[in-house]
Structure 1
């Protein structure tokens, strides 16, 4: 099983190398696949939602992948296959599902909220029960996860509440923010590496291992406290959603190479327990209060402080502030390196933030010009790290 975990690490590394500022989304998609749950990504076109899922599907040898762009005019034939004319001659209303969604292991449905009433009921049944009714007979489908995508949230009164509820994880995706990452994306950096491959058998083994991850008693207690705090705010996720979310916690623990779910894994629930965009901030604050220990709060603090320094150095180009900014980022980098050696449970999160701080330092250095005998740029700002 260690070999399977090693392959999973290779997949994560390859995806993070190619898709910049998508670490959280990549983790979430893999959590959804390991937990056999569905994930929704909401954001503007051109944010690599479909490209990310396509790349992941290529890394799972033997996986049947289905992708479709829905419109208000989409028909059941497009998703579930055409009627078999031969069977229809005998009065049998049966669809030929070959290469269609009922035979897929992994599916990506773009503009998911364009689903119309003609396909909605069958789609809901596949998502929730993993069943497709063909000629009235239920057929089990091999579907592990559906990744849904949309440019916008569904509007009230459209009858899509049940479809929205089927996605246990929900993420908002935006354009690349960091300038250096944007340039790396433009240069296709990270595309040259040979992509790793795992088999469907490898993935099935990891899913079975996920099911066996133990959940500590204090985690159940923390979930109960989260539920109570959410109710106090008028936010009431269903009992079913809380129950299903346990699989997300187990999958996150596996990604962190732990055999037990700890309170830190609860952080994934900030992307699961809200029902409307207006609830997101309240849910995030409540979940983080119960999920984050002192070490993780320090990571949040470092992330905020580094971003503030990065933004301020664009505004204040004085030599004095340049020296101060340089020292602050160096100090934060040192803190992260120390944390990386002592806190192995959060190694991947620490390394991701360390990479971000280093990228900030490199961009500051690359965007400055130096005199032959000077460490300051033309405006006096000290950039050399």
Structure 2
């Protein structure tokens, strides 16, 4: 395999990988229902690509980014709230007035601005002014900045940027900017009652977390520059991606050649994060967050991508959808307050949900036996167990301590 012939053993970067897994778990505990967003931001970081978080205000977009990037030791973090009148100097650095006054030198103060950032958070990205647009494109795509006084472009150490917006761009002037954001995530308000309860509890002052894992900037940069690019892309995956492209084009969903090429690095990052030296078909799951332009197409892209995953991953996605559907209906009926209707509905869903939960546990165990990282399967199994416990206890009055677990033991929730 290419990764091995270039001298990268299977365990290369194992310490960083373990650290990032711990970081994702810890941040996911702090921010409910954001596991996928957290994983894709980290995947984008390892791929050296940029992520867009699209959603309404107050969904924790900036807080998640700050928490994640604050765990990269020695990294310079920079953020800004953009608006349509913002001057390029506010982003890339103002004129050094002292040097201009004393020596007549026209230079910019670059420290403390985007030009010195390893990780950047660009809020309201589509409100970037037309005056700053070209400089922003060069910054994101080429990691350079053309100084106002002219001369050689300045190299920027940017590894990855996370951008946020409450809405998509409405004009063509920011279309090129939108295309630079390879990973696109829709972020909405919390949907689960338990997640909302955890949100309320988090408002009560408490001590610092018992564990706060960090990783080193140099290790991240080495992974981005050497370890992730060394991950092999087998012919079978190339064939699957080619067929996926044809399927999406048949549905009039197209992506640029540049976007497909950049998507390869995201596939490599996904594989590396899972501890593999070559991309597997299951890594295609990340493309569901890469290949849509309009939110209206996101569901279609997700379903088409799902069809190319391994049988276990296809089952995982379908079963997770079923669990989410039952949870949403449970919330709705519970809110209506009609106990008889809730009980009658729950009786019909009991066996269906129990079967889904047991199947998810089986997929998790199969992943462990096959040597695959069990984390996504474990999260889905725990989610199914949680909904199953709620269904039996809230709708059917079963003592929660007597509800069997996914593994057949009792009292585990």
How does the TM-score come out when normalised to structure 2?
0.83
Q: How many residues align?
A: 374
Other structure's SS at 2:80 match:
strand
TM-superposition CA deviations, 1:73-108 (whole Å, max 9, x none): 222222111101244355543211111100000000
Matching residue within 353, 363, 375 for 1:329:
353
Q: Does 1:121 align with 2:145?
A: no
* RMSD, matched Cα: 2.6
1:313–1:325 Cα contact (<8 Å) kept: no
**CA distance 1:323–1:232, shift in 2 (3 Å):** closer
Distance in 2 between residues matched to 1:282 and 1:333, nearest whole Å: 26
Distance in 1 between residues matched to 2:398 and 2:294, nearest whole Å: 54
User: Where does residue 33 of structure 1 map in the other structure?
Assistant: 45
- Where does structure 1 lack aligned partners over 5 or more consecutive residues? 377-383
Distance in 2 between residues matched to 1:234 and 1:353, nearest whole Å: 32
- Where does structure 2 lack aligned partners over 5 or more consecutive residues? 1-12, 404-411
User: Where does residue 193 of structure 1 map in the other structure?
Assistant: 210
Q: Aligned-pair distance for 1:201?
A: 2.0
TM-superposition CA deviations, 1:17-62 (whole Å, max 9, x none): 1111111111110011000000111100011100001001111110
TM-superposition CA deviations, 1:298-336 (whole Å, max 9, x none): 112221332333344453744565455444433333222
TM-superposition CA deviations, 1:261-296 (whole Å, max 9, x none): 01111121122122233333333333222x322111
**CA distance 1:342–1:114, shift in 2 (3 Å):** same
User: Where does residue 94 of structure 1 map in the other structure?
Assistant: 107
Other structure's SS at 1:194 match:
coil
1:74–1:115 Cα contact (<8 Å) kept: yes
Q: Aligned-pair distance for 1:369?
A: 9.7
Other structure's SS at 1:187 match:
helix
Q: Does 1:161 align with 2:178?
A: no
Distance in 1 between residues matched to 2:136 and 2:245, nearest whole Å: 29
Trace 1:171-320 onto structure 2 (pairs within 5 A).
171-188=185-202, 192-207=209-224, 208-289=226-307, 291-313=308-330, 315=333, 317-318=339-340, 319=343
- Could you tell which deviates more after superposition, 34-43 or 295-304? 295-304
Q: Does 1:358 align with 2:358?
A: no
Other structure's SS at 2:184 match:
strand
Matching residue within 374, 377, 386 for 1:347:
374
Other structure's SS at 2:120 match:
strand
Q: Does 1:5 align with 2:32?
A: no
Other structure's SS at 2:153 match:
strand
Matching residue within 12, 19, 40 for 2:31:
19
- Could you tell which deviates more after superposition, 69-78 or 279-288? 279-288
1:67–1:108 Cα contact (<8 Å) kept: yes
Q: Aligned-pair distance for 1:362?
A: 4.4
Matching residue within 68, 89, 99 for 2:80:
68
Distance in 2 between residues matched to 1:286 and 1:324, nearest whole Å: 30
Distance in 1 between residues matched to 2:143 and 2:170, nearest whole Å: 26
Other structure's SS at 1:147 match:
strand
Q: Does 1:44 align with 2:62?
A: no
Other structure's SS at 2:374 match:
helix
